[in-house]
Amino acid sequence: MIRTSKLAASVKPSATIAAGTKARQLKAAGIKVFDFSLGEPDFNTPQHICDAAEKAAESGQTHYTPTAGTAEVKAAICKWYKAFHGLDCTPEQVIVSNGAKHSIHNALAATVGPGDEVIIPTPYWVSYSDLVSMTGATPVLVNTTAESGFKMSPAQLKAALTPNSRLLMLNSPNNPTGTVYTRAELEALVDALEKTEVAVLSDEIYEQLTYGDLTPTCVATLRPWLKDRTITISGASKSYAMTGWRMGWAVAPAAVVKAMDTIQSQETSCPSSVSQAALVAALTGPQECVAEMRKEFAARRELTLSLLNAIPGVKLPAPGGAFYAFFDVTAYFGRTFGGTKVTDSLSFCNALLEQAHVNLVPGVAFGAEGFVRMSFATNRATIEAGLAKLKEWLASAN
């Protein structure tokens, strides 16, 4: 018998991946599922990006590349940051990994460990706390509420600081709430760190998906002193519908990138050569595809909000970015559905999936009991039919 490790026993499975797997199993068994679990665009990757990958494979770009990525991909990332955010960076400050999740893992592994504290505002993306725990560092959760638009205040941040604080994780636009901090709000937050040695890991993967007049902010550009203390994370999964290509990156001070490069060289060598060629095309090619997908997400957001707001007992702030609705369902806790009593977000999601075949992710996985997350990165017909089903199921409560 092979015993599994303490590390393996300490890691929780990703709740988003688990919910997606459940839906896939039900679909394979012939059941029609209204699946709003995974945050994954339903669009295919734009054609010119696929063409670039095909050309790369055919022309022999099928070998290992430098661990942190090709010169072309790093140059494309630097050019994109200058154009999109006005951020200057050099190739030594860029590392490409196998998805932004991998970039976050490497960034944490390169900067924190046992005895260190990492401040994470809740609700947070499902993987943050486990990725921190895997390094031996301690996640310090700061609870935010729907009333504050799920925003952490500078006073809350200051109260969470201790001599062991090493890193603050920010994520705007946010998964799961869709919260977008304004530039001024972020300035006030980071100013609370100026006289400390706390660094910032800013996950900006939804930066090209904001709605109305909201705009994304690149945290590294907020203050001159902050650039040397910020690790910016992003990736192609969301903006370019490239989840399966596994392209994520970090922009950080050269010494941090070097440490991440060393870790990555032992872990995975380079990311896929063909995917890197696709990423170059994504970042340097025509950007209309991004605007078109954003327009469709905006329409789905409107539809989702109008349908959810018409359900009695459901409460949510309008998401300013990303493609999630994060709503309060506590009005239904203590009620019985088809003989099953719902007591929390997990039992709510389980009963909803079993009885009505609507798949949501429980808020508890994001550190926010009482809520559930719906991804609206799926077509409008599914949103309409699935939310009608949800409404009908909720009305059946005893």
Residue 203 binds ligand PMP (CB under 6 A): yes
Contact characters 1-40, ligand PMP, x per CB under 6 A: --------------------------------------x-
Nearest approach, Cβ of 167 to ligand PMP (angstroms)?
Answer: 15
Identify which range of 52-60, 97-105, 213-221, 345-353 contacts ligand PMP by CB under 6 A: 97-105
Question: Considering only CA atoms, which of 257, 259, 241 is closest in space to residue 249?
Answer: 257
Pairing of strands 94-98, 361-362: unpaired
Q: What is the DSSP letter of 220?
A: G
Within positions 175 to 204, which residues make up the interface with ligand GLU, using CB under 6 A?
Answer: 175
Contact characters 37-56, ligand PMP, x per CB under 6 A: --x-----------------
Residue 356 binds ligand GLU (CB under 6 A): no
Which residues share a beta bridge with 372? 327, 362
The residue from 101, 102, 229, 300 that contacts ligand GLU (CB under 6 A) is 101
What would the two tokens of residue 115 be? Answer: 């005895």
183-to-189, 208, 214, 235, 321 alpha-carbon distances in Å? 10, 16, 10, 21, 14
The residue from 35, 39, 105, 360 that contacts ligand GLU (CB under 6 A) is 39
Q: Given phi > 0 = left and psi -120 to 50 = alpha, else beta, which region is 357?
A: left
Residue 372 binds ligand GLU (CB under 6 A): no
Q: Give the number of residues written for the chain.
A: 398
Residue 171 binds ligand PMP (CB under 6 A): yes
Residues 6+ apart with CB under 8 A from 51: 281
Binding partner selected for residue 38 from ligand PMP, ligand GLU, none, CB under the kind-specific 5 to 8 Å limit: ligand GLU
Q: Is the Cβ of residue 139 or residue 332 nearer to ligand PMP in the bound state?
A: 139
Q: Which DSSP helix (H) or strand (E) runs through 69? A: none
Residue 41 binds ligand GLU (CB under 6 A): no
Which residues share a beta bridge with 117? 138, 165
Binding partner selected for residue 83 from ligand GLU, ligand PMP, none, CB under the kind-specific 5 to 8 Å limit: none
Within positions 274 to 333, which residues make up the interface with ligand GLU, using CB under 6 A?
Answer: none
Q: Is the Cβ of residue 271 or residue 370 nearer to ligand PMP in the bound state?
A: 271
Binding partner selected for residue 17 from ligand GLU, ligand PMP, none, CB under the kind-specific 5 to 8 Å limit: ligand GLU
Q: Is the Cβ of residue 226 or residue 360 nearer to ligand GLU in the bound state?
A: 360
Which residues share a beta bridge with 119? 140, 168
Residue 14 binds ligand GLU (CB under 6 A): yes
Type of residue found at 292: E
Can you tell me the distance from the alpha carbon of 327 to that of 136, in angstroms, rounded to the nearest whole number?
A: 32
Residue 16 binds ligand GLU (CB under 6 A): yes
Q: Is the Cβ of residue 16 or residue 93 nearer to ligand GLU in the bound state?
A: 16
Q: Is the Cβ of residue 36 or residue 348 nearer to ligand GLU in the bound state?
A: 36
CB 222 within 8 A of CB 183: yes
Tell the residue number behind the tokens 């977000």, with chain if given.
345
Write a three-state SS string for 299-341: HHHHHHHHHHHCCCCCECCCCCECCEEEEECHHHCCCEECCEE
Residues of the shown chain interacting with ligand PMP in the complex, contacts defined by CB under 6 A:
39, 99-101, 125, 171, 175, 203, 205, 235, 237, 243, 248
